[in-house]
Amino acid sequence: IASKYEEIHPPEINDCVYITDNTYSKDEVIRMECSIVRKLDFCLSFASPYLILQRLIRISGMEKQDFFVCQYFLELSFLDYAQLVYKPSILASAAVYFVRKLRGYDVAWPESLELTTHISSSELIKPASKMGRIMVATRNSNFKAIETKFKSLRFMAASEIELHEKI
């Protein structure tokens, strides 16, 4: 099912039968796929924080470099298991809030974003603060992969950006 959903050239049903060493027939594979999809209520994907972040950046009118800084903080937040308590929309919103605050925007969480997300700035303080602590912790650790990735020109040196304010 995942390959049919994600792959450009998904395997054919006969390939699935072959992979199972003919343990299951073509009809059995199809019935099982139908059963799984029905059990999932046809919900085969979710809104990732990255996709939500892209939308928030468009709505807020932030610059491309700030998008990469948001993405940097968002990826850093994936390092901390405690951040999993937050919905993807909260994590993406917290990254935008955090970067807007640190980069000196007039308003850290504008009304346009609050109306779009139905998330208030007060809901973002805790996850955004945690993003800041994660950033500081990773700069002082041996885990440098994300920081190094975002130092590249491809990401406009987002991990080296000047930050104006503490949250």
Q: Cβ(68)–Cβ(103) under 8 Å?
A: no
Q: What would the pLDDT profile of 33-42 be if each residue is shown by its tens digit?
A: 999 999 999 8
Asked whether the predicted pLDDT for residue 151 surpasses 90, the reply is yes
Q: Specify the pTM.
A: 0.74
Distance CA 52, CA 64 (A): 15
Q: Cβ(94)–Cβ(86) under 8 Å?
A: yes
Amino acid at 112: S
Grade residue 7 by pLDDT with cuts at 50, 70 and 90: confident
Q: What would the pLDDT profile of 49-90 be if each residue is shown by its tens digit?
A: 999 999 999 999 999 999 999 999 999 999 899 999 999 999
Distance CA 147, CA 76 (A): 8
Grade residue 92 by pLDDT with cuts at 50, 70 and 90: very high
Quick one: pLDDT at residue 135? Answer: 87
